[in-house]
Amino acid sequence: MENAFETALGLYRAGRGAEAVAMLRALADHRPGEPAVLNLLGVCLHAAGQTDEAGTALRAALALAPDHAEALLNLAALRNGAGRRSAAAACLRRLLVLDPGLRDGLRLLGATLSEMGDLDGAEAVLRRVARLVPDGIEERFNLAATLCQTGAPDRAIRALRQAIALRPEGAFAYGLLGACCLRAGDLDAAEAAYARALRLDPAAADARHGRVRVARYRATARAARSGAGPDGLALRGAFATASGYSHMARRLIEALRRRRIPLEILGLLADERWPFEPLDRPVRARALLNVLIPMAVERVPGLPTVTFTMFEGHPIPPSWLVHSRSSDVVVVPTRASRRAWIARGFPEARLRLCPLGIDPESGDGAPLHLTLPDGRPVAEIPYRFLNVSDFIPRKNVDGLLRVWLRATDRRDPACLILKLAIGGRPHGRTELADLVRRGEAATGRRLAQAAPILLVDAVLDEARMNGLYRAATHYWSLSHGEGWDLPMATAGALGLGLIAPRHTAYLDYLHDGIAHLIPAGTAPATRPYEDEPWAPFHGLDWWQPDEEAAVAALQAVIRKGAALPSAADHLRRHFTWDQSAATLLTILGGLGLAPRPEGA
């Protein structure tokens, strides 16, 4: 036994930790009071893939020696890898009380806080590391990368230049510097940074796209100064992707073109092309309209920056406020978003309200033919509830499943059509299966006891999406917060019965006469079934729909035939994309930035 520990340590250092587990177990039984043995056992168990047992061994080591630095660091790394970042951060803070200058502990704490979404906390820790290691390349670069998210561009630019001075051959750092310079509106500095990145790595896609944007912005600025042609509008958005912002940008472009507004369309990368007519030629733009989140906004010298965006919680995160300040005006679609910006300290005078539109334009499109897992056609089920969501915690899919399990029985004439965007996630179905298991445990009901659920995770084009809406009788959401919820608005415009929480965007286009609104309180924004904060909403609250009321609402429809007047007429009359475009043009006109229609 005397040399067993050294032998086990040698195996671990040689990358053969799994082979040392049995030896260390025996040693721990023979000498149970030695934390170093338990610490090494925990590390080797982790290497062998036995994560739970590794945690037990590391906790046992700390029970014997609460100040054991290696065990604290190893337990923090283990918890971080398991997604328990709050617990990992607690370990690291305890470790840093013992050794305030521990470089590895500080670096891991900074990374952990960043992954938690505590960007301000991460910045403070990474600044501390950079002071301790003034010539540390990785430390400087980690700080710079965090500042790109949290700070005004000038702070990130300074930190990046310091990191580049220590390692001038890094192409990625130059690409990041170029992006920060674009946010600051410094085209010359951005061009120089991207050019340097491409000399170091000719295949650097971000730098290549960045240079395209620099060239487009130069042309846009020249055209705006030219004085020739009608006043128009430059619009930048992710119109070529499948996101909600992309859909919003496409609809606004279409509505503005119906009004013959001269547009120059700039994609997220800048080399995307509008598919229906050439809209990549510069116009004499009065402003640059960014249909994007504030962190993605870039500025064109000489043009006012208008940002059309939204947020689903209250208030906006601190980083959103910092990035919003680079915009002259922020346009939001709902009163809840407006309150979220004001509550964080954004000037009320620089906020404008412009509701979005709906998409009922498919007219008499046929319902999508769907079949339940047991082979029955969905169309034969009298009550067909639809939910269309990204598979993220904010959409409260876990709450939907809990309520469905509690509210329905397999003999009920109902089904749930769950359209989830999990196709791009390699473990999406596994994560959903885990959520179902947790829902079953929480409710004491098995999935087989409830009315059937049909998962639709294929990517559908707009025609098939409208067919999916038409295959349902009701649309139901238990979201924790919405900037708009286009699927809900579209479903209502197509005549589906609506069940929604009484919060955020829903209160701007629904009311009790046309929808069943479920009471909702506020609660910390955490991941399903965990106390861990959901990173995008770190430190914020969101809305928690009343699940008892949701159960009652579903049962009233399914078992009592409860009905509400249709929302279709209200939504079609008051929320169209043409009305949204008209409101946007009125806002621009009030700012002295109104474009003129062609031929006017």
Determine the average pLDDT of the residues in 144-150: 88
> Longest Cα pair distance anywhere in the chain, in angstroms?
93
**Are 162 and 144 within 8 A, CB to CB?**
yes
- pLDDT band per the 50, 70, 90 thresholds, residue 473: very high
**Are 503 and 543 within 8 A, CB to CB?**
yes
> What's the pLDDT tens digit per position in 415-443?
999 999 986 677 888 999 999 999 999 99
Angle between helix axes 21-30 and 35-47 (nearest 10 degrees) is 160
- Tokens 């885990």 belong to 434
Mode of pairing for the β-strands spanning 351-353 and 231-237: unpaired
**Are 69 and 98 within 8 A, CB to CB?**
yes
Q: Is the dihedral of CA 417, 418, 421, 422 positive or negative?
A: negative
Query: Nearest 5°: CA angle at 226, between 225 and 230?
Result: 100
Determine the average pLDDT of the residues in 363-386: 91
Query: Nearest 5°: CA angle at 403, between 402 and 407?
Result: 125
Examine the pLDDT at 220 and tell me if it is beyond 70: yes
Task: Classify residue 347 as exposed, middle or buried by CB count within 10 Å of its CB (0-12, 13-18, 19+).
Answer: exposed
- Coil vs helix vs strand at 211: helix
Q: Write down the pLDDT at residue 361.
A: 61
Question: Considering the domain 229-353, what is its CATH architecture?
Answer: 3-Layer(aba) Sandwich (3.40)
Examine the pLDDT at 264 and tell me if it is beyond 90: yes
Determine the average pLDDT of the residues in 89-115: 91
Determine the average pLDDT of the residues in 274-298: 93
- pLDDT band per the 50, 70, 90 thresholds, residue 364: low
Examine the pLDDT at 1 and tell me if it is beyond 60: no
Q: Write down the pLDDT at residue 83.
A: 85
Query: Nearest 5°: CA angle at 149, between 75 and 299?
Result: 170
**Hey, do 117-203 and 378-568 end up sharing a CATH topology, with the first three levels equal?**
no
Examine the pLDDT at 147 and tell me if it is beyond 60: yes
Give the Cβ contact number of residue 366 at 10 Å: 11
Q: Where are the domains of the chain?
A: 117-203, 229-353, 378-568
Task: Classify residue 169 as exposed, middle or buried by CB count within 10 Å of its CB (0-12, 13-18, 19+).
Answer: exposed
Q: Write down the pLDDT at residue 423.
A: 67
Q: Write down the pLDDT at residue 19.
A: 84
Examine the pLDDT at 462 and tell me if it is beyond 90: no
Specify the CATH number of the domain 378-568. 3.40.50.2000
- The reported pTM is 0.91
- pLDDT band per the 50, 70, 90 thresholds, residue 229: confident
Phi/psi at 242 (5° precision): -105, 15
- Coil vs helix vs strand at 178: helix
Give me 108's structure tokens.
């891991």
Average pLDDT value for the chain: 92
> What's the pLDDT tens digit per position in 514-550?
999 999 999 999 999 998 999 999 999 999 999 999 9
Question: Considering the domain 117-203, what is its CATH architecture?
Answer: Alpha Horseshoe (1.25)
Does an H or E element contain 61, and which?
helix 51-64
Determine the average pLDDT of the residues in 185-207: 97
- Coil vs helix vs strand at 107: helix
Helices (H) and strands (E) counted in the chain, each on its own, are 24, 14
**Are 343 and 324 within 8 A, CB to CB?**
no
- Give the list of residues 6+ apart from residue 234 with CB closer than 8 angstroms, or none: 220, 224, 263, 264, 266, 282, 283, 285, 287, 288, 289, 300, 303
The residue among 384, 368, 554 whose CA lies nearest residue 452 is 384
Q: Write down the pLDDT at residue 387.
A: 98
Determine the average pLDDT of the residues in 342-362: 91
- Give the list of residues 6+ apart from residue 13 with CB closer than 8 angstroms, or none: none
Q: Compute the distance between CA of residue 224 and CA of residue 244 in angstroms, rounded to an integer.
A: 30
Phi/psi at 351 (5° precision): -110, 140
Q: Write down the pLDDT at residue 215.
A: 96
Q: Write down the pLDDT at residue 508.
A: 97
